[in-house]
Every structure is written in structure tokens, then in C-alpha cells.
Amino acid sequence: MSTETPAKKELAAIKGTKDILPGEVEIWQKVEAEAKRLFELYGYRELRAPIIEPTELFERGTGQTTDIVTKEMYTFTDKGGRSNTLRPEYTPSVARAIIEHRLDLQPEPMRYYYIGPMFRYDKPQKGRYRQFHQIDIEVFNEKDPAIDAEIIEMAGALLKKLGVEGTETLVNSVGCRVCRPAYSRDLRAHAERVREQLCPDCQRKIAANPLRIFDCKVESCREQARRFPRIMDYLCPECGEHFDKVRSYLDLYKVNYRVEPNLVRGLDYYTKTTFEVVSRGLGAQNSLLGGGRYDDMMRDFGGPDICGIGFAMGMERLISILDIQPEKKKVLYFAYMEEEGKKKAVELARFFRQNGVECLVEFGYKSLKNQFGRANKLGAAWVCVVGEDEIRKRLYKLKDMTAGTQTEGRPEDLLKIIRGK
RNA sequence: GUGGGUGUAGCUCAAUUGGUUAGAGCAUCGGACUGUGGAUCCGAAGGUUGGGGGUUCAAGUCCCCUCACUCACCCCA
């Protein structure tokens, strides 16, 4: 609105978003590569859905009553008057894609993974951003409890592969449409009876989300919560048996986990199994990944009656606790003299690149000393000198910047030296 | 949305009770050094002290507003 606003401010990345710059981006690439490799080992395939979806997809999928839908969505009206939303989570998009393309009629297993940005209009803090990235896993049409255990094991395998330590795996069952209503009713009634002993926050939660009272930090609330009914006592035979089997498969997979009866995920659609991996060192937002089963979503969308299960891992959170050094790149830097040298350097770089060597030719010619200085500063592994003598003899100098040694030879000879390194 | 903390050069930080022209290290660029890097020395550039208003002879410093970052609540990955 004001033209006097300083450019610095105008040009800043918007709140809750950030640039991932060279130097850090290599870590992201590494994590992405490891995740993809691992997921493919379990038979998962990448499914890339759009970043924007009809708003209704999340209203119906994520749930009308969730915080995500009621106050955190980036929603806008397009030129055709349609309401679109930058996806706040990925699961509804996959469900939509399956229905739209009838993937349930294909012979391939419906096991999908995806890595990409999600958007939630939250107030940013440690481990929470408005644009953040998730590694997402979805499996459809596998109702056997073995798959519940398998994806938990797979999540653990990825964390282990990346060297993540100090995590704890929490598992719970939230029941289904048969058994949960009775539990919710009893829990609410129970909380209502002791309303006066609860903090104002929890009094509000009685109506909104009574399960949340379990993790209040106020002592009086904790005291009361200990006497609240437990979901485990309400599970219907089907859910109870399912949960028992999940646990026995987790044991089979040798997964270390803890049953956390108060674990409730913030999305409406979960049924039966829910789980979460938390990590020390993440501050208040200690959930590294969370997921669960959602057996009713597809039917609710008017699609085939097939179940689903999945999890989402927060990449920013994951990377913030990783301690990995990106591999140092081996670069061949060209130092040349005069126009003739520059052209020859370009030509040589083409040869080396075709043979898989990363080359850097910078075009602001200065002194050789200056170019060596640049190469040193950039951490180049080698410098190839292209000057008058070299061009005349067709023998080029190659200096090993670490050892400080220099040899001379034809491009093919130099390539052998570089490869032998 | 609510609350706390912090905003000085690209980065990390100085600047006495409010008192001269806001400094230093690192990084950048140039030079010493015209076919060979790292070291050293010299020099340059870099700031509306986040922005706006107020108090004052005088504000980086005090007050108010605002913005950003950050931590926490709520909630979530």
C-alpha cells in the first residue's frame, strides 16, 4: 500500500516459509533419496497429486470439525468462482486420485508414497511452519493388522537408516464407528461430572475434544484424568482383536513400542490403529511422524468401500534432528588464459562432463593466480590449466588441489587420473 | 488467535548514567603478486541501528505503535 516501504521488507519470504539453500538442500536430497529407496523396497510407488485441490476435498476428508479445516487452510477463490485450497495434508488427495482413476480396479497393490510441501495457516514456532514438507505413506485395501505393523516398522527402518536416535513409538486404537461413540459419550459424561475440578482449557475440551484432557499439564486435571474411562475397555470385538494382532505383529517385527491409551490424532477420520513417533530434542512439537488407519474415508467420499492406513513424517522436524554431512563434491575447475584458452576450456569441460566429471568454468577471466584462488575457495578437487603452452602441445595440466601435485597429459589421460581418485 | 523473548553490516557481536562521524572479527572485493591456491600485510566497500511516531539540547540506548524473527499455549508433521 505504501510505496515507501523498504525493499528489504517487501522481498522477504512470507511468514512461516523459508528458503532451503545450497548447503542444506543436499541433506534434503539425501533424505528424499533414502526414503524413496526404502519405500520401493516395500513395494511402494510414488503418486504425485496436485498441490491445490477443491476445498470440499478437505472439508469432507480431513473433517469439518478439525482445526486444520476450521482455521488453518489456505483457501482462495479462483477465476471461475470455485473454492480451492492449498493442501494441508496429503491423504484426501490420494483417496481422490484412487477414486478418480479407479486405481482399486488395477492389479497393482495400492501402496503409495509422496514427498512434498503442505500448507497450514498456523502460527509458526519451532518445528512448525506454514509451508512444511511431509514424507507421506498410504496403503489402501489392506485390512489385515499385519500392514499396520509393517508400516510402523518401515517408518522405524527409515529413521534408523538416517541415524535418528532418541525416539519413542506410541501405538493406540481409537476404535471405530461401532465402539467409539459409546466411549466418547461416557468420557464426556465422566468429565462433565468433574467439570469444576478441571482447568478452563479442559472445561472447553469436554465438548470439543475430551480425549485431549488426557494430556493436560495441570495437576488437578491429570488427577481427574486418571479416573476417566479408557478406550481399551470399549473396543468392540473386531477392534480389540485387530489391536491385539497389530501388537503381535509388532513383536514379530521386533519393533519397540509403547501402548499409549491417550494417543489421539487430530484428524477425524482415524479408526482402529493410530501411532506416532516422538523425538527428544524437538521442543514442544515433538511428533516426528504420525498416522493411523482410516477405514471409512473412501466410502465417505462415495468411492469403493476400501480401507486405508498411512502416516506422514515432518521433514523439517526430521532434518532438524539429523546429524549428517552431505558428501563433498569433487569438482574440476578450469583455469584458462586469453580468449583462446576460454574456448578450449569450454570444449574440455564438455568432454569431462560427458564422462561424468563435475566441471566449473567461470567466465570472468582474471589472472591465473586469481583463478587458483577461486578454485581453492570453492574447494575444487582439481584445477585444469588451459594456457598457450597447453593448447599448443595439446597436453593440459591437472593439479590435484589436495595433494598439491600437478601432472600433464591428454584429456583422456587426465580423465583416468580423476577417475582413479 | 493468546502470551513471553529478541531485533545494530552478508554472518557473529561491541558501542559507559541517553552525549562527537555507530565499531570489530569473519566473509566479500581490490592491491602487494602479469603462468599456479591456502599464509601474511595494506586498502575498499558494506548501516535510514526492522519501520513509524513521541520525550529530549541530544535516542542504537527511554516511551508508544507496528512489523519480523523466536519460544510457548492451542493444534499438529
pLDDT in tens, A125-155: 888 999 999 999 999 999 999 999 999 999 9
The answer on pLDDT for A122 being more than 50 is yes
Given CA atoms A250, A251, A254, A260 in this order, what sign does their dihedral have?
positive
Separation between Cα atoms, residue A251 and residue A296, nearest integer Å: 27
Q: Which nucleotide is the nearest neighbour of A129, by CA and C1'?
A: B77
pLDDT of residue A420: 86
Q: Where does the pLDDT of residue A11 fall: very low under 50, low under 70, confident under 90, or very high at 90 and above?
A: confident
Per CA to C1' distance, which residue is closest to B33? A369
Least confident of A79-93, A160-174, A258-272: A258-272
For A335-348, write each residue's pLDDT tens digit: 999 899 999 999 99
CA distances (Å), origin A183, targets A42, A179, A187, A195, A238: 36, 7, 6, 18, 15
Bases on strand B under 7 Å from any protein CB: 1-3, 28-31, 33-38, 48, 50-51, 67-77
Q: B21 C1' – A4 CA distance, angstroms?
A: 27
DSSP assignment of A357-401 equals -EEE---S---HHHHHHHHHHHT-SEEEEE-HHHHHHT-EEEEET
Q: B10 C1' – A383 CA distance, angstroms?
A: 28
Angle CA A41–A47–A51, to nearest 5: 140
Separation between Cα atoms, residue A86 and residue A336, nearest integer Å: 50
At residue A127, φ and ψ (nearest 5 deg) are 75, 15
Q: B23 C1' – A7 CA distance, angstroms?
A: 26
Give the strand order in the sheet containing A406-409. Answer: A358-360, A331-336, A382-386, A396-400, A406-409
Separation between Cα atoms, residue A323 and residue A302, nearest integer Å: 45
Q: B9 C1' – A16 CA distance, angstroms?
A: 25
Which grid cell is A245? Answer: 494382532
pLDDT of residue A346: 95
User: Mean pLDDT throughout A212-221?
Assistant: 78
The answer on pLDDT for A365 being more than 80 is no
Q: Where does the pLDDT of residue A2 fall: very low under 50, low under 70, confident under 90, or very high at 90 and above?
A: very low
User: Mean pLDDT throughout A48-53?
Assistant: 97
Beta-carbon contacts of A329 under 8 Å, excluding residues fewer than 6 positions away, are A358
User: Mean pLDDT throughout A36-52?
Assistant: 97
Q: Which amino acid, residue A248?
A: S
Give the strand order in the sheet containing A258-259. Answer: A45-46, A110-119, A131-140, A308-314, A287-293, A271-279, A167-173, A258-259
pLDDT of residue A266: 66
pLDDT of residue A96: 96
Going from the N-terminus, what domains does chain A have, and what CATH number goes with each?
9-179+235-320 (3.30.930.10), 331-420 (3.40.50.800)
Angle CA A292–A297–A300, to nearest 5: 160
Q: Where does the pLDDT of residue A361 fall: very low under 50, low under 70, confident under 90, or very high at 90 and above?
A: very high
Mean pLDDT of chain A: 91
pLDDT of residue A23: 87
Q: Which nucleotide is the nearest neighbour of A134, by CA and C1'?
A: B77
Q: B15 C1' – A12 CA distance, angstroms?
A: 29
pLDDT of residue A10: 58
The answer on pLDDT for A351 being more than 50 is yes
Per CA to C1' distance, which residue is closest to B36? A369
Separation between Cα atoms, residue A103 and residue A110, nearest integer Å: 7
What's the N-to-C CA distance of chain A in angstroms? 58
pLDDT of residue A4: 32
Which grid cell is A383? Answer: 584445477
The answer on pLDDT for A62 being more than 80 is yes
Q: B5 C1' – A16 CA distance, angstroms?
A: 18
Q: Where does the pLDDT of residue A3 fall: very low under 50, low under 70, confident under 90, or very high at 90 and above?
A: very low
